[in-house]
Amino acid sequence: MPHNPPPAQGDELLLPEHRVLVFAGRDAIAFAHAQFMNDVAALPIGNWQWNGWLTPKGRVIALFALIKRDDQTLWLLLPDADPRELAAALQRFVFRSKLAIEVREDLVVSGSFSPPVRASQARVSVVGDGIELDMGADGGPRGVRIGEGIGSATDGSGHWAAFDLEHGLPRLPPAQAGQWTPQQLSLDRLHAYSVRKGCYPGQEIVARTHFLGQAKRGLTLLEANAPLAPGAEVGDGTHVIGTLVSVATNHTGTTALAVLPLERDMASTLSAGNIALRERKLLTGLAR
């Protein structure tokens, strides 16, 4: 079991896996609204939402926090997806739209397990030379800061990811991107997609699953005393019933999210290979 201690409240933690992609221009809002799975047009300026980009078959390529800075500027805070690859993929659909898609290498992301200075829930706030987001939930307060020249040297990725997973925010490594629908990832818990805003890639699959009640699998929170790997099969002692999607390691051990059947024998013992898994209840409060 890892021995690195948990961060103290107020410690500034560098989040190197989080990077920023910026849309800017007259058509930035309309382009994002047409491409992404949540309602960008309805988001007020100065607020943020969970959002994502899907394949035409309704599988989540990338999941991110989308921040509406003004009526022509969006910031995408990407916890996992490579911003250059995502920018290149999106650029193919720009056509005559008036916007620029830019990877902001100069913007550094840090966080702390303490309340943000002024940001609250979905409302962002300008603090110094950066902006802050409230990413707290039932598990405790958290604040995120995006800006230039943030000097923290402490990598808080493991503890941050474990908090995300405990609240049902899947962290998608490359091998898991493009594999799962929003419903299979239980993204309704985060209010991360819309079934009413109109067309976007994968919208038909998402809407059909929602309105016909066809979702048969969703996220389950698991923990183990040994390392786990995304993509590993989860069994119930008799059959393979699901897959590990996200894994995080911190001082308490290993936390994971798995896509499992919504209807199954809850008394069965779960495992990944020869590693015993313990089921935990997902926490709430991270929806925006």
pLDDT of residue 267: 84
Residue 158 lies in a domain: yes
What pLDDT score does 116 carry? 95
Average pLDDT of span 190-207: 96
- The verdict on 58 and 21 lying in the same domain is yes
pLDDT surpasses 80 at 8: no
pLDDT higher than 60, residue 63: yes
145 and 34 within one domain: yes
Question: Helices then strands (H, E): number in the chain?
Answer: 4, 16
pLDDT for 164: 98
Domain membership of residue 234 (yes or no) is yes
Same-domain status, 263 and 150:
no
**Average pLDDT, integer, range 245-249:** 96
* pLDDT recorded at residue 151: 61
Residue 95 lies in a domain: yes
Residues 25 and 72 in one domain: yes
**Same domain, yes or no: 162 and 194:** no
Give 15-33 as a DSSP string: -TT-EEEEEESTTHHHHHH
Q: Which domain holds residue 110?
A: 13-166
Choosing from 127, 142, 166, the residue where a domain stops is 166
Residue 2 confidence (pLDDT): 47
- Of 119, 150, 166, the residue that ends a domain is 166
Residue bearing the bigger pLDDT, 155 or 61 = 61
Higher pLDDT, 191 or 148: 191
Neighbours of 140 (CB within 10 A): 13
pLDDT > 60? residue 53:
yes
Does some domain include residue 3?
A: no
Domain shared by 131 and 36, yes or no: yes
CA distance 132 to 184: 30
Which CATH number goes with the domain that contains 233?
2.40.30.160
DSSP 3-state assignment of 11? Answer: coil
- The average pLDDT across 141-168 equals 89
Specify the DSSP class assigned to residue 167.
T
Question: Is the pLDDT reported for residue 149 higher than 80?
Answer: no
The pLDDT of residue 257 is above 50: yes
Confidence (pLDDT) at 1? 43
The reply to whether 147 and 186 lie within a common domain is no
Q: Structural domain tally of the chain? A: 2
Judge contact between 58 and 202, C-beta under 8 A: yes
For residues 109-130, average pLDDT: 93
Element (H, E) at 83: helix 83-91
Is residue 125 domain-shared with residue 20, that is, in the same domain? yes
Across residues 210-226, what is the average pLDDT? 93
Residue 2: inside a domain, yes or no? no
**Residue 5, in any domain of the structure:** no
Tell which of 134, 166, 198 closes a domain. Answer: 166
Mean pLDDT of 192-200: 95
Q: What is the mean pLDDT of residues 79-104?
A: 97
Whether residue 98 sits in one domain with residue 27 = yes
Q: What is the pLDDT of residue 266?
A: 84
Structure pTM?
A: 0.94
Residue % of the chain over a pLDDT of 90: 87
Shared domain for 78 and 215, answered yes or no, is no
